[in-house]
Chains A and B, each alone.
Chain A
């Protein structure tokens, strides 16, 4: 069975600090996808990134970067120079590939990130 663990329940940093959110996953499949979503206080889920299991290249998008390491089954998310607007709950998620294309996501419990001014 697949599982996603986000061990950090809550992180609080001061604005402009860098912060890394950890995500560890478990799956028996060799083909799978990993995701990060942001849930701001307003409650919606905002898609941030999708990664497939064959692509271990790190990705950078502005202040956001993601480090995917299959050897440790981790897909960590770093925010550089954090801002108050980054305050949210961040979810890591995993989907195995059934071949049907309609695979449900398995979410971690989320990390509540608080950026203090």
Chain B
């Protein structure tokens, strides 16, 4: 069964460094998303992406964050200058976008980001 994949599974970085988290959405899906989950807390929406542009973003998604679909398969989240509070599990998700499966989002296994 097709699934969303994410790399790396765990990323450790120093405060102030740039990180890029990578995702490969399910191949026929058209909508892509990033969420984060700080340890022990709820999952929070960051951004959605469709047709090569941001569709919706939350207040969390400030100028430090950017997303890109550099080729036909990858979907990336970049954090320009990491802060301690960026430490979290980052989930990528995708949805096919048909009316019968509207917004049915399938999540990847997550990347645990640790900022030291």
Q: Which residue numbers of A lie inside 8 Å of B, CB to CB?
A: 33, 35, 37, 42-47, 50, 52, 91, 93, 95, 97-98, 100-110
Contacts and interface: CB of A to CB of B under 8 A. Distances in A.
B107 A47 contact: yes
Interface residues of B, number: 33
Nearest to A103: B103
A109 B30 CA distance: 28
Main secondary structure of the interface of A (DSSP, over half): loop
B18 to A, nearest CB: 24
Interface string B96-116: 010001111111111000000
Interface in B16-37: 30-33, 35
B75 interface: no
Nearest to A104: B45
B103 A45 contact: no
A50 B104 contact: yes
Interface of B: 30-33, 35, 41-50, 55-56, 58, 89, 91, 93, 95, 97, 101-110
B55 A100 contact: yes
Contacts of B107: 37, 44-47
B91 A101 contact: no
Contacts of A109: 41-42
B48 to A, nearest CB: 4
B108 to A, nearest CB: 8
Given A102-B56, A104-B48, 12 more contacts: A37-B43, A44-B107, A44-B110, A47-B106, A50-B104, A52-B102, A97-B103, A100-B56, A101-B97, A101-B102, A104-B35, A105-B43
Contact of A33 (B91, B97, B102): B102
Contacts of A42: 109
Contacts of A37: 43, 107
Contacts of B30: 101
